[in-house]
Amino acid sequence: MFLVQAVLDFPLATPSLPPVIFDIGTGSGCIAIALARSLPNSIVYATDISQKALKVAKQNAFLHGVFDRIRFLHGDLFQPLTTHYSLLTTDLIVSNPPYIPAGRSLPPEVLKEPRIAWNGGWKGCQIVERMVRESWDRLKPGGWLALEMDCTHGLWISALMKRLGYREIQVLKDWSGLDRVALARK
């Protein structure tokens, strides 16, 4: 949950009241749930391409008492937000997208997860690049993007964000000292 802690610790801009958060690729809902619990006035929209993952996320949200503040939507990245809610912009986008390069040796606990949840393509950049590009149009001016990433992607993501016009770009190291989270402001 380094991503959630980074978002909560980083001096993000004052969001609208109540803050609206998009958790893209929510999986089991850990990020959406943690943010909903930590930011009790927030409204969280959580998307995932997997119906099975959304079922688990809904159960987890119910167990943690935040089911009523998270809208779970099925679809690819931002698509369900525009289809179901016509939501185009937000204060904060968070995501732990699939970023592990295909072919990398992985511990057994990761291999138990569905491949779609961790496989980021040949270099691990396929979904991450889409997230960075598509987030630009979904953020309000001054809004923030926070992504978990592979520890080898810090320079690449920073350069991509800079080319697209993001500012205040930060690459944060995890507790092991590895690049792990990219933060950027629109």
Question: Nearest CA to 129 among 118, 119, 120?
Answer: 120
| Report for 92-101, 110-119, 154-163: range of highest mean pLDDT | 154-163
The Cα–Cα gap between 148 and 20 comes to 19
Letter string b/e over residues 44-83, b meaning 16 or more CB atoms within 10 A of that residue's CB: bbbbbebeebbeebbebbeebebbebbbbbeeebbebbee
pTM listed for this prediction: 0.88
pLDDT digits (tens, 9 = 90+) for 129-183: 999 999 999 999 999 999 999 888 999 999 999 999 999 999 999 999 999 999 9
pLDDT-based confidence at residue 71 (cuts at 50, 70, 90): very high
The whole domain housing 171 covers 2-9+17-185
Place of tokens 């969001």: 15
Number of domains in the chain: 1
Q: What's 165's domain CATH number?
A: 3.40.50.150
